[in-house]
Amino acid sequence: MSETRCGYVAIVGRPNVGKSTLLNHILGQKISITSRKPQTTRHRVLGIKTENQVQSIFVDTPGLHQNDDSEKAINRYMNRAASSAIKDVDVVVFVVDRGKWTAADDWVLEQVKRAPCPVILAVNKVDQMDDKSSLLPFIEAAEQKMDFADIVPVSALRDTNLDRLEACINERLPKDDWFYDEDQITDRSSRFMAAELVREKIMRQLGAEVPYEITVEIEEFSDSGKSLHIGALILVEREGQKRIVIGDKGSRLKLIGQEARLDMEQMFERKVMLKLWVKVKSGWSDDERALRSLGYNDFD
């Protein structure tokens, strides 16, 4: 009988390079929310893939970025969540965006170099490269920056080369018993996933209209037997933001609810009755105590 392998894999990189999309496509289902807006991911989220003899436990992290003194508590929280993930995993996947190595990538690289484990460089979005011949020089330049365990060009969105990336990861995981049940796909609760789906729809619809001062808290999550009844409170920091989220005669809030409910029904495989409220909670994103009460403490 062949031995099983099991280990933790941190997916890291600067904001908006496609880390959550990569995780979702490796798992074959949605675990981390995505949008075009940087730093959509705020929490460390585990995605668990058990296949053949290998259980890979992926840690999706907020985008690593260089702190400055003016940053709010939530930005500091996200950096701590991402940095702590690097310290205690078996493999790090460092994701960069095709031929665009930036100063922000250099800063993340310095953090990644501290990892006491193999680091695989995933060059994402290669399907979007206008000049495919520039990929090889980009990879050769990257090889000079660090002794990567492997460099794999991928397209997370198009599922390109993900099998090779997974093979590179799996062969470096330690021989061990599985930590989770074979059919478990995440460590997160249904309440957490519901809140994240609502927040994703807000981020996607509002884009630059509402900044990061928005979060979602689940106030009701009950099972009637035939359906789930979910009540979600959307917290913003100012009255103007509340008006934007609600929209004209409640149109924007209704659309957010419709899209979130469809995703929830697919995720939970149940009919969902969803109610949304919007409330102003001034200063929550720069208040350490408020952040902890809202669940922003999962890296401790």
- Report the binding-site residues for GTP: 13-20, 60-64, 124-127
Query: What are 274's strand-pairing partners?
Result: 230
Classify strands 5-12 and 91-97 as parallel, antiparallel or unpaired. parallel
Contact present, 78 and 195 (Cβ < 8 Å) = no
- Give the residue ranges of the annotated binding site: 13-20, 60-64, 124-127
d(CA 195, CA 233): 9
Residues 6+ away with beta carbon under 8 Å from 18 = 95, 97, 124, 125, 156, 157
Q: Residue 2 has which token pair?
A: 């062949």
Cβ atoms < 10 Å from Cβ of 47: 25
Q: Report whether 218 contacts 191 (CB < 8 A).
A: yes
What's the start-to-end Cα distance of the chain, in Å? 38
Looking at residue 72, its amino acid is: K
Catalogue the E-assigned strands of 80-140.
91-97, 119-124
d(CA 243, CA 289): 26
The tally of CA atoms less than 13 A away on the side-chain side of residue 190 is: 17
**DSSP string covering 26-42, please?**
HHTS--S---SSTT---
